[in-house]
Amino acid sequence: MKEILDAILSPDSTAADFAHVKLPESYRAVTLHKDEEQMFAGLDSRDKDPRTSLHLDEVAVPELGPGEALVAVMASAVNYNTVWSSIFEPVSTFGFLERYGRLSPLAKRHDLPYHVVGSDLAGVVLRTGAGVNAWKPGDEVVAHCLSVELESSDGHNDTMMDPEQRIWGFETNFGGLAQLALVKTNQLMPKPAHLTWEEAASPGLVNSTAYRQLVSRNGAGMKQGDNVLIWGASGGLGSYATQYALAGGATPICVVSSPQKADICRAMGAEAIIDRSAEGYRFWKDEQTQDPREWKRLGGRIRELTGGEDVDIVFEHPGRETFGASVYVTRKGGTVVTCASTSGFMHQYDNRYLWMSLKRIVGSHFANYREAWEANRLVAKGKIHPTVSKVYPLEQTGQAALDVHHNKHQGKVGVLCLAPEEGLGVRDAELRARHLPAINLFRELDERTIRRGRDN
């Protein structure tokens, strides 16, 4: 591995050097173990600790297939899907690997007693399989997480519609939280040159998801002037949704749960902010019963912030806890666009507010090839910025996942894989200098919060 890292760190390495670099037989990877699927049985979700289920193992380098690339991973990031995988909820990801394994002899490689997780990476191509012309060893890349086969016409207009659509590193093996990763080369995109490895690795999954969900016509198709209610506006998805709303001439109404998170939204440029903890919304009276007066109170607060207007779009992902309120506060003809159900997937809402006011609920999931490319292009041009607040070494991925599980983080939590330290990999210092305050925004506010906590 040292030879690979030396080649990446040397400014003089050529494509030929990378093509000839010796590949190791094994690599270090963050894994789940199939024989531990039941380890948390009977515990509450919150008590399931990713630090005990995520292991750092030495695993075999997978055989490279046609149309694939083996990538040296400099950095990755924690997504909520790694939280789901690590607590084996709502199902164990080993079921995904078994099903994938039945597809073909090549897919069978993924069905192993361990699962290398992680759906983001920034790194360097080491080898490409047969039939790959667009990428070569030495290319600096990021990878999006859409894995598709495209043998059915269903996915030919919108690659998310492929019947064999999977999220790499969640529904497939050989993910990004490791020193090496195996991807299909159609997942590769150029690494934004002005970012460090850990910054470049962090937007991938959430940025592409927010782009389809909010901006794309496949999602809410946001337009200038729209009011957009964004739940978790300083979190993984929300920190990108807020940027897209601001960059697209819309007005984000940011919902967060602390003054620190409100500060982050303000620093991004949002003005309408709701601290849901301070304002004490309780949309559920008990497990079975919602409280429409609380939906109304939220709607009233939104009108105060917008000068009497309702929201055109609700950017939904908390799910059960907020969905009734989201449907209620959407304006006549507006759209609730949902990509998740963090607090529970059995939603309940009053359908009278949906049909009588001609509202739409739109389901959205990750992004198609093109949407992921467009979202990455905006990062590469410095129009959308990474939101890394903290970075952990690969050895502490369990702690990084626990931070996200317990909602103790801001924006994105990065993970260094082969990169020996933060701050490496910048190739366009001039573009970086132009956007430095925006690139560092989440990190600096997070550090300020930690300092304030220490002083108190």
Ligand X SMILES: NC(=O)c1ccc[n+]([C@@H]2O[C@H](COP(=O)([O-])OP(=O)(O)OC[C@H]3O[C@@H](n4cnc5c(N)ncnc54)[C@H](OP(=O)(O)O)[C@@H]3O)[C@@H](O)[C@H]2O)c1
Q: By the criterion CB under 6 A, which residues form the site for ligand X?
A: 79-81, 84, 205-206, 209, 231-232, 234-238, 255-257, 261, 276, 317-318, 321-322, 339-340, 342-343, 365-366, 404, 407
CA geometry: angle at 416 spanning 414 and 420, to 5°?
A: 145
Non-local (6+) Cβ contacts of 381 within 8 A are: none
Residue 34: its H or E element = none
CA geometry: angle at 275 spanning 269 and 279, to 5°?
A: 150
The least CB distance from residue 367 to ligand X, in Å, is 8
Q: Tokens standing for 314?
A: 């609700």
The separation between CA 22 and the C-alpha centre of its own chain, rounded to angstroms, equals 32
Q: Which is nearer to ligand X, 256 or 417 (CB)?
A: 256
Q: Which is nearer to ligand X, 180 or 245 (CB)?
A: 245
Q: Which residues pair with 227 in a beta bridge?
A: 251
The least CB distance from residue 382 to ligand X, in Å, is 23
Q: Which is nearer to ligand X, 113 or 363 (CB)?
A: 363
Please tell me whether residue 221 adopts helix, strand or coil conformation: coil
The least CB distance from residue 320 to ligand X, in Å, is 8
Q: Which is nearer to ligand X, 276 or 347 (CB)?
A: 276
Residue 375: its H or E element = helix 369-380
Q: Tokens standing for 347?
A: 């939603």
Q: Which is nearer to ligand X, 70 or 336 (CB)?
A: 336
Compute the radius of gyration of the chain from its Cα atoms. 22
Q: Which is nearer to ligand X, 110 or 276 (CB)?
A: 276
Q: Tokens standing for 88?
A: 């084996």
The least CB distance from residue 257 to ligand X, in Å, is 3
E-only strand ranges, 290-359: 311-316, 330-338
The least CB distance from residue 81 to ligand X, in Å, is 5
Q: Tokens standing for 391?
A: 């970075």
The least CB distance from residue 77 to ligand X, in Å, is 10
